[in-house]
Structure 1
Amino acid sequence: MRKIITFGTFDVLHIGHIRILNRAREHGDHLTEGISSDELNFSKKGRYPIYDFDSRMEMVASLRCVDNVFKEESLEDKREYIIQHNADALVMGNDWESKFDEFRDICEVIYLSRTPSISTTEIIEVIKEQP
Structure 2
Amino acid sequence: MSRTVITFGTFDVFHVGHLRVIERAAALGDRLVVGVSADELNLRKKGREPVFSQAERLAIVAALKAVDEVFVEESLELKRHYITEHGADVLVMGDDWAGRFDEMKDLCEVVYLPRTPAISTTALIEKISASA
TM-score (norm 1): 0.99
- How far, CA to CA, are the matches of 2:27 and 2:110 in structure 1? 14
Deviations 1:56-107 (A, max 9, x none): 0000000000000000001111100000000000001111100000100000
Equivalent residue letter for 1:9: T
User: Which residue matches 1:112?
Assistant: 113
Is 1:31 paired with 2:17? no
User: Which residue matches 1:79?
Assistant: 80
User: Which residue matches 2:42?
Assistant: 41
Between the aligned residues of both structures, percent identity stands at: 56
- How far, CA to CA, are the matches of 1:28 and 1:38 in structure 2? 28
- How far, CA to CA, are the matches of 2:117 and 2:109 in structure 1? 25
How many equivalent residue pairs?
A: 131
The CA RMSD measured in Å over matched residues stands at 0.5
- How far, CA to CA, are the matches of 2:112 and 2:60 in structure 1? 23
User: How many Å apart are 1:8 and its aligned residue?
Assistant: 0.2
User: Which residue matches 2:104?
Assistant: 103
Equivalent residue letter for 1:85: H
Structure 1 residue runs of 4+, over 2 Å off?
A: none
User: How many Å apart are 1:26 and its aligned residue?
Assistant: 0.4
Unaligned 5+ residue runs, structure 2?
none
